[in-house]
Amino acid sequence: KAGVTQTPRYLIKTRGQQVTLSCSPISGHRSVSWYQQTPGQGLQFLFEYFSETQRNKGNFPGRFSGRQFSNSRSEMNVSTLELGDSALYLCASSHPEVNTEAFFGQGTRLTVV
């Protein structure tokens, strides 16, 4: 069974640009959550999508957005990038009806210069 796959693994962007990250969940998992990991703030919840709907949202500005497709794949978008957006972005998928465990992808390392 394939794990959670995130693409790309690494990205370098310039301040003011926008970026789109992709996450393919484990087959059958309909819940996809996104987290930002930085040395200073740790792991912070961004949002969760379930059946193409944003079900939960963390405390991040509106520059951070996401969506989920009918095959449960999810994308997150960050517009008007700031230096402080440099981080490891992790997505996690789960199948809440069967098991509560969240499985993480390897993450996308975003560097804003």
Look-up of token digits 């975003």: 110
Helix (H, G, I), strand (E, B) or coil at 90: strand
Q: Which residues bind other proteins (CB under 8 A)?
A: 4, 31, 33, 35, 42-45, 48, 50, 55-56, 59, 90, 92, 94, 96, 100-107
Q: Shortest distance, CB of residue 105 to other proteins, whole angstroms?
A: 6
Sheet-wide strand order for 64-68: 5-7, 19-24, 74-78, 64-68
CB nearer other proteins, residue 13 or residue 95:
95
CB nearer other proteins, residue 66 or residue 81:
66
Q: Shortest distance, CB of residue 110 to other proteins, whole angstroms?
A: 16
Contacts of 107 (CB under 8 A, 6+ apart): 6, 9, 37, 88, 89, 90, 91
Q: Shortest distance, CB of residue 29 to other proteins, whole angstroms?
A: 10
